[in-house]
Amino acid sequence: MTTDPRDTVDGLLQSASARLAAAALGGDTPRLDAELLLAHVTGRNRTQFRAWPEHPVPPEQARAFDALVARREAGHPIAHLLGEQEFWSLPLRVSDATLIPRPDTECLVETALTLSLPHRAQVLDLGTGTGAIALALASEHPAWRVTACDRVPAAVELARDNARRLKLAIAVHVSDWFSGLPASRFDLIVANPPYIRENDHHLVEGDVRFEPASALVAGPDGLADLRHIVERAPAWLAPGGWLLLEHGYDQGAAVRGLLQARGFDTVDTRQDYGRRDRMTLGRWPTRPAAPEDIDHAQ
């Protein structure tokens, strides 16, 4: 019996690509989204699709694929539909309890790796989500002792699960920023905190509609969590330790001001892959902690 061309790999991909293009989803490459979804359903890879476009797709797989395409048409993030997102070449499980790791956050990892840190550096990732930043750093420096935390228990379990699957040793705690952490001093603290302003139009666009608002929004100016971290970080930093923060493209000057006002030196803003200000870092001076720094530990 002849297979209906619409039920082949190529037929399904052409139809899905057209649907996603009409819905203005899949960015500039709706075909890529369609291929990823079909690969997820069939267990085949995109190279096989190109080699055997006429291969028939079983009806049950075609129905599952159609259901995923419909959800993508409705705006659901491709990472949520696949249950996975690659970050720093690491396959990370994702869920709607956390942010989906973004490529530009890899610039934060790259910046951290340029810093001169001890061989067995103590590193803290605040608001870890999937564990992306902590796991990327642990993969590059196995001798580093990496701690991560998140205030959302489901995110903590997700980060722990990713660490187990990737066989990377990080300690993950439930903690609202510093409040639930065991006392320690870190050579590096990194964070990608919420930094979107309340009522920002981006909150009703794209993938962020399906991500937790608590991981995105930080007060009227988007700086509430950044202020909190900058204010309390010195009590957790070793002398000469670094604080490295991701922020909005238009917040570089504001975050530099926060760090300088708190007493950090060597303050600098770095750019992401799109050449937009995306992260700012500062170094805590190499002097003993002042009493007011200890008071701010909680």
Residue 283, SS3? strand
The CA-based angle 203-205-210, given to 5 degrees, is 70
Tens-digit pLDDT profile for residues 158-184:
999 999 999 999 999 999 999 999 999
State the Cα–Cα distance between residues 227 and 221, nearest whole angstrom.
11
Ranking 11-15, 187-191, 216-220, 272-276 by mean pLDDT, the lowest is: 216-220
- Tokens matching residue 129: 């989500």
CATH architecture of 5-75: Orthogonal Bundle (1.10)
**Where are the alpha helices (H) located in the chain, listed in sequence order?**
9-22, 30-42, 46-51, 59-73, 78-82, 106-113, 132-140, 153-166, 224-232, 252-262, 291-295
* Helix (H) or strand (E) run with residue 147 in it: strand 145-150
Q: Domain 95-295's class?
A: alpha beta
If you search the block for the tokens 């949520």, which residue do you land on? 80
For residue 234, count other CB atoms closer than 10 A to its CB: 23
Please give the DSSP secondary-structure letter assigned to residue 114: T
Instruction: Name the packing angle between helices 252-262 and 224-232 (round to 10°).
Output: 30
pLDDT confidence of residue 108 = 96
For residue 283, count other CB atoms closer than 10 A to its CB: 19
pLDDT confidence of residue 201 = 47
State the Cα–Cα distance between residues 166 and 186, nearest whole angstrom.
24
- Determine phi and psi for 265, rounding to 5 degrees: -120, 180
How sure is the predictor about 286, in pLDDT bands with cuts at 50, 70 and 90? confident
How far separated are the first and last CA of the chain, in Å rounded?
71
Q: Which residue has the higher pLDDT, 218 or 23?
A: 23
Residue 281, SS3? strand
Please give the DSSP secondary-structure letter assigned to residue 208: G
Please give the DSSP secondary-structure letter assigned to residue 54: T
Instruction: Name the packing angle between helices 59-73 and 30-42 (round to 10°).
Output: 140
Domain ranges of the chain: 5-75, 95-295
Tens-digit pLDDT profile for residues 138-157:
999 999 999 999 999 999 99
State the Cα–Cα distance between residues 165 and 92, nearest whole angstrom.
9
pLDDT confidence of residue 203 = 45
HSE of 222, CA atoms in CB hemisphere, 13 A: 18
Q: Which residue has the higher pLDDT, 232 or 46?
A: 232
Q: Which residues pair with 171 in a beta bridge?
A: 147
How sure is the predictor about 298, in pLDDT bands with cuts at 50, 70 and 90? very low
- Tokens matching residue 112: 């951290």
State the Cα–Cα distance between residues 178 and 148, nearest whole angstrom.
10
State the Cα–Cα distance between residues 146 and 74, nearest whole angstrom.
38
Please give the DSSP secondary-structure letter assigned to residue 43: S
pLDDT confidence of residue 77 = 85
Sheet holding 170-174, edge to edge: 170-174, 145-150, 122-126, 186-191, 237-246, 277-283, 265-271
CA dihedral 141, 143, 147, 148 (to 10 degrees): 20
Residue 256, SS3? helix
